[in-house]
Homo-oligomer: A and B are copies of this chain.
Amino acid sequence: MAVLTGREHRLSARARRTKEPQISWLLKKPLENPNIISLAAGLVDQQTLPARLIQQLVAELFENEDAAKRALQYGTTEGEANLRRLLASRLEQAGLQGPIDPENVVLTNGSQQLLFLATDVLVDPGDIVLVEDPTYFVYMGVLDAVGARTIGVPTDDEGIIPEALEETLRQLAADGDLPRVKLLYVMTYFQNPKGSSHSWRRREQIYEIIERYSSDENYIYIIEDAAYYELKFEGEDVPFLKTLDPQNERVLLAMTFSKAFAPGLRLGYGYLPSELTPHVLNQKGNHDFGSGNLAQNLVYHALKTGAFDSHSAMLRTRYQRKRDIMLDVLRSKFPPEVKYLEPKGGLYVWVTMPENVSTSPGGRFFEEALAREVLYVPGCYCYAQEEGRQKPDNQLRLCYAYIEEQPMIEGLHRLADACVAALR
């Protein structure tokens, strides 16, 4: 990052709070040394990207010149009406109580923009946001930028631990801080980084606790980030947490076309509480007055023709296979002290080393891995940093999405060697 010589005080408070993501240097390493195998990169599988399909969709869309020109014109801040209606009806089919008003479906630049807009609309500096511990590190960057106090709530393999959530809120209430709690951010399906989902029971418990600590005065919203919803390999269907909010008041559901279709289209959407929709749209109007119209039209056609659904079915098969390979190597090549969760969907495997083995940069294990030219995401980046609370630093995230099968196996072998060396 460039150093501002003498003019840094001219930056806004927000700019001064906003840091380059801690993980940037790590993700750039493979550019410096192409021999490095990155099990850290969270990109999607390049081979699966729907090149032929997009070409076909463009051909179909552009057959009608008027339609093509509409797609190349400015759109609206909220997004294409057809697409919003279709998404509303798909959400109903997915089990949300209808009728869903398409007015509350808002297209955004990936779900990331929705996370940002929703947070910016609700959170003032000093306000409190609760997150799963560990959680999606990019979102914690957003929270830092808006000046939130981020509090991590411990999780197990079924998601947030209800007793921990209750205890956190009880303590905040005792400290008089409850009015500052604005949001709970939760990834319900195959979360980043753990790969685990919230069981239905947990969703109910979490919702009930938030509702109980919430009043009109101290209203607490929930962002349900369901970015990996379509990437379920096995296990039963669990309804959205959003289904517990049939009045559409509390839960902001964030979805994306990046994981199950094509991130290069940069499109996601939210289904928002009707009271919040106009406020999110007012911000979005200032940001860009609408997401790419051409991308929206392509996604509309992909959904309408069934191409999206068959593509995501193919993706599930492919990712499941890569997950299986990763788990196989973890099972057969790693020391038995190394534990990991077996994800039933999504893109990540969360690995826990023995307690005395730090996975953080600068630690022995990280250095052993780097010496062998293999990278992972250190678990420490995924935990909320809170004064006076120590977080585990013996974990790591592996991603089987972007990497090809053979280098993945090779990378895992290298990592197993690093493990053995670090445990020695």
Give A contacts to B, CB under 8 Å: 1-2, 4-7, 10-15, 18-21, 43-44, 46-47, 49-52, 54-55, 58-59, 62, 65, 68-75, 108-110, 112-113, 116, 120-124, 127, 138, 141-142, 145-146, 182, 216, 219, 221, 258, 262-266, 274-275, 277-279, 281-283, 285-295, 297
Contacts and interface: CB of A to CB of B under 8 A. Distances in A.
A10 B49 contact: no
Contact of A12 (B47, B120, B266, B291): B120
Given A11-B122, A122-B15, A266 B288 contact: yes
Contacts of A74: 43-44, 258, 263-264
Nearest to A65: B51
Contact of A279 (B11, B110, B292): B11
Number of this chain's copies in the complex: 2
Contact of A291 (B142, B262, B266, B282): B266
A110 B288 contact: yes
Given A288-B110, A291-B109, A295-B294, A46 B62 contact: no
Contacts of A138: 285-286, 289
B70 A55 contact: no
B54 A219 contact: no
A68 B43 contact: no
Contact of A55 (B2, B59, B145): B59
A286 B137 CA distance: 11
A391 B285 CA distance: 26
A229 B285 CA distance: 23
A178 to B, nearest CB: 12
Contacts of A44: 73-74
A268 to B, nearest CB: 9
Contacts of A266: 288, 290-293, 295
B285 A2 contact: no
Residue of A110, A124, A275, A291 with most partner-chain B CB within 10 A: A275
Nearest to A6: B216
Contacts of A278: 1-2, 20
B11 A121 contact: yes
A72 B49 contact: yes
Contact of A286 (B73, B108, B116, B182): B116
Most buried by B among A6, A275, A278, A287: A287
B285 A72 contact: no
A258 B289 CA distance: 12
Given A11-B122, A14-B120, A72 B262 contact: yes
Contacts of A4: 275
Contacts of A277: 2
A340 B69 CA distance: 32
B69 A219 contact: no
Nearest to A283: B18
Contacts of A75: 264
Nearest to A57: B58
23 contacts: A1-B278, A2-B275, A2-B277, A7-B216, A11-B121, A11-B122, A12-B122, A18-B279, A20-B285, A47-B69, A49-B69, A49-B73, A55-B58, A72-B262, A73-B264, A113-B287, A138-B286, A145-B283, A263-B293, A264-B292, A264-B293, A264-B294, A292-B295
A1 B264 CA distance: 33
A2 B123 CA distance: 19
Nearest to A5: B275
Contacts of A14: 120-121, 124, 283
A50 to B, nearest CB: 7
A55 B297 CA distance: 14
